[in-house]
Structure 1
Amino acid sequence: MTSDRRLFDFLDDLEGQAAALYAAEREAEAIDRSRAEYASVTLGGRLMASLDLEVGLQVDGVGPLSGRLRRVGTGWCLVASRLGEWLVPLAAVTAADGLSERAVPEAAWPAVSRLGLGSVLRRLADDSTPCRVFTRGGGRHEVVLRRVGADFVEVDVVGEPPRRRVLSLAAIGAVQSQTEVG
């Protein structure tokens, strides 16, 4: 073997080692980048990718809830079950099953999906829709929604005697409606 050939073999070997190191670094960087990007995925994004799927949710104050995922908005989702439609604040969801492996970033959501929980509750209030409001602590209220503030909803409690009550939005686990919400 000539000295030139040995030199070329040596350089080829060094180049191969450098390429292998570079590939290993790129793979590690890609894994880190993938983890960092996934860390920005929200429950809302996973739910948005799961529209029209049968899902199961574990909801504070309600327990297990299953049905077809009809809508998702900023901080809420709407599930249609055989018992009616359930408006669920995402803060009350403790677990979810049946979701798509994909996610849709909020920037890609339709404009109407960027409406918050208060907007959906205002629609129910405008229609004087009778509802059951389940609180995250386990309470249940038969009500007609009247007005929605920044962090509360004012309701008329159904019963004898009827009375007006204010419920904190943060305390709501779910709102069940017999009529179509969305």
Structure 2
Amino acid sequence: MAWEEQLFALFEDLEQQAEALADAARAPDLLDRGRAEYQQVSLASRLVASLELPLLLEVEGVGPLRGRLERVGTGWCLLSGDGGSAQDWIVSLAAVTGATGVSERSVPEVAWSPLTRLTLGSALRRLAEAGERCVLHRRDGSRLEGVLRRVGADFAELREPSGRLVLVAFAAIAAAQGEDA
């Protein structure tokens, strides 16, 4: 090997060593940057990446709910009943205390479809428009049965079978079920 080739080989080796040292020095910064970026990931963005997957959601006041994730909106999700149950659940994300079976990925909010921006109020209005009996499960574990009449900005109006009208704050709602409850 000529002296020029040896010199170029030496320089190449030194360059590779310098790159390896630079990568090693940069690794903690990249790890910190990754952690800082991950703090921007929301539960909803992880759930949007989990659409159509079978999940287990732990819901305050209700307990574990199993089913396939059909839709995610701003502050809520729609879970289709698991197995033989055709029961659909509208679940308030504020009442979700844990989730199993979710995707490792997340979808940033800017990539969500316009339908994903619908609120819990929008989902409850659909139940009210159907005019069917439903069950509202509250975060304290209690249940209200009846027909949703109207849905306001931050509450739903439920007419119980006795005729009593109850206003339920969205903040108190853990989940809602349709007529098959």
TM bin, normalised by shorter chain, reads 0.7 to 0.9
> Residues of 2 paired with 1:95 and 1:132: CA distance?
22
| Corresponding residue for residue 30 of structure 1 | 30
| Corresponding residue for residue 114 of structure 1 | 117
Letter in 2 for 1:33: R
* 1:94 is aligned to 2:97: yes
| Structure 1: gaps (5+ residues) | 1-7
Partner secondary structure for residue 69 of structure 2: strand
| Corresponding residue for residue 174 of structure 2 | 173
Partner secondary structure for residue 51 of structure 2: coil
> Residues of 1 paired with 2:166 and 2:50: CA distance?
35
| Corresponding residue for residue 5 of structure 1 | none
> Residues of 2 paired with 1:102 and 1:12: CA distance?
39
Give yes or no for contact 2:135–2:179 (8 Å, CA) kept in 1.
no
| Corresponding residue for residue 64 of structure 2 | 64
Partner secondary structure for residue 145 of structure 1: strand
Partner secondary structure for residue 78 of structure 1: strand
CA RMSD, aligned part only? 2.4
Q: TM-score, normalised by structure 1?
A: 0.85
Deviation at 1:112, TM superposition (A): 0.8
Partner secondary structure for residue 125 of structure 1: helix
Partner secondary structure for residue 106 of structure 2: coil
| Runs of 4+ with deviation above 4 angstroms | 10-18
Deviation at 1:14, TM superposition (A): 7.4
> Residues of 2 paired with 1:151 and 1:93: CA distance?
18
Deviation at 1:105, TM superposition (A): 1.0
Paired residues for 1:1-182 under 5 Å: 18-81=18-81, 82=85, 84-158=87-161, 161-178=162-179
What percent identity do the matched residue pairs reach? 53
Deviation at 1:86, TM superposition (A): 0.3
Partner secondary structure for residue 125 of structure 2: helix
Give yes or no for contact 1:50–1:99 (8 Å, CA) kept in 2.
yes
Give yes or no for contact 2:62–2:174 (8 Å, CA) kept in 1.
yes
| Structure 2: gaps (5+ residues) | 1-7
Deviation at 1:26, TM superposition (A): 2.0
Give yes or no for contact 1:85–1:178 (8 Å, CA) kept in 2.
no
> Residues of 2 paired with 1:13 and 1:125: CA distance?
72
Listed one character per residue, the Cα deviations across residues 40-97 of structure 1 (whole Å, up to 9, x for unaligned) are 1111111111111110011011101101111111111000111511000100000100
> Residues of 2 paired with 1:36 and 1:107: CA distance?
19
> Residues of 2 paired with 1:173 and 1:58: CA distance?
10
